[in-house]
Amino acid sequence: MNAESLLHYISQHIHLTGEEIDILLSLTKYRKYLKGQFVVQQGDVCQYESFVLSGCLKTFYIDKEGQEHVVMFSVEDWWASDLGSFLTHTPADYNVQCLENTELFQFPYDKMELLYAKIPKLERFFRIILQKAFVASQKRIVQNFSLTAKERYLQFKQQYPQIEQRVPQYLIASYLGITKEFLSKIRNQLILEQ
Amino acid sequence: MNAESLLHYISQHIHLTGEEIDILLSLTKYRKYLKGQFVVQQGDVCQYESFVLSGCLKTFYIDKEGQEHVVMFSVEDWWASDLGSFLTHTPADYNVQCLENTELFQFPYDKMELLYAKIPKLERFFRIILQKAFVASQKRIVQNFSLTAKERYLQFKQQYPQIEQRVPQYLIASYLGITKEFLSKIRNQLILEQ
């Protein structure tokens, strides 16, 4: 199991001893998914908080009209889960699906309290991770009522520099809340402005 | 200083010793605000995470056209701050203003690391608080593209049972993203359906 990138990521926030790393690895799990597979399905309870070792995923919502709304993309060193469902152990609002073959490192719901008890420093780690997630979520709400589609697209390119080449255009349009045709128009406009 | 309701709230999540309570109270502060006063102003850095002892506040955003968007109300036992600004120490996206005379218990930004060092249990406390905040924020995003205005209003009544009598109708309409007239129409419809 290749947990190196997770351990490096954790070490940016807290220091774990060798013994703590052993406990962490014994209570969490590594899993491979194929392109197209679902990590979470809307309506099921999300059982894992998943750290992306490699690959790319989309988190999306299907509304009553069957329309897909992409709320997040996840690549290496990001997290992928319906955190609300995971934390409250209630049915997921979102789907999380792999856009590429993906390797995840998963924290199981039923091991979290044991993990916190055995490695109290993880409280700090997840407190910091949640801060970042919350801030990103709040920014998303503000952007939706304050930025034009073009500004949201530029913001997206800045926030997700690696993703644009890996993800189909219609999913980026869905994330931005616009049609594929309108995204194409914005891109052409930006090329002309350069 | 009446910190009792804060201490009761904290005790639902972690147990603090007498000594830890003394440290907590020495590093935090109690403050009264008058109706109309601002706790946070858009563009300033939010210096405090504020717990509501009494009173009522609105968190809102002013867009480029000068339009007000209410994103949150806070009453007793809720938090009121621009958490994104507080956590990242960058200018606030939001204003937080008192709708009634209000008493707050404030956690200063520059004391947080000292508080975590002296009372490590607070990592757990704020981890749990952030979980709740994050889940609420995600639900808000989903509701905005999945529920009708009427469904959002019913959801609002359920989430904030005490607030409807305390807050002007136009602010509730702003929170729901509809006009005051449309809110009035929805309310009349619901009365007819009873």
Q: Does the CB of A140 have a partner CB in chain B at under 8 Å?
A: yes
- Cα–Cα distance, B119 to B122 (Å, whole number): 6
- pLDDT at residue A1 greater than cutoff 70: no
Question: Which residue in B has a C-alpha nearest to residue A134's C-alpha?
Answer: B134
Residue-level pLDDT at B194: 77
- Cα–Cα distance, B144 to A61 (Å, whole number): 12
Contact across the interface for A116 and B134, Cβ inside 8 Å: no
The domain ranges of chain B are 4-118
- Alpha helices (H) along chain A: 4-11, 18-27, 83-88, 112-118, 121-146, 149-159, 169-176, 180-193
- Rounded to 5 degrees, what are φ and ψ at B148? -75, 165
Reference A52, options A73, A25, A71; nearest CA is A73
Residues from chain B that touch A83, judged by Cβ atoms under 8 A, are 131, 134-135, 138
Q: How large is the average pLDDT for residues A25-40?
A: 96
Other Cβ atoms closer than 10 A to B43: 10
Residue-level pLDDT at A142: 78
Residue-level pLDDT at B160: 85
- Cα–Cα distance, A110 to A85 (Å, whole number): 13
Q: Which helix (H) or strand (E) element contains residue A31?
A: strand A29-33
Contact present, B180 and B170 (Cβ < 8 Å): yes
| Topology of domain A4-118, CATH | Jelly Rolls (2.60.120)
Q: How many helices (H) and strands (E) does chain A have?
A: 8, 8
Q: In a mutagenesis test of the B interface, which of A46, A62, A109, A123 is the best target, namely the one with the most B β-carbons within 10 Å?
A: A123
ipTM: 0.82
Per-residue pLDDT of B113-137, as tens digits, reads: 999 999 999 999 999 999 888 888 8
As a whole number of angstroms, the longest Cα–Cα distance in chain A is 57
- Cα–Cα distance, B19 to A45 (Å, whole number): 40
Per-residue pLDDT of B135-179, as tens digits, reads: 888 888 777 777 888 999 998 898 888 788 899 999 999 998 889
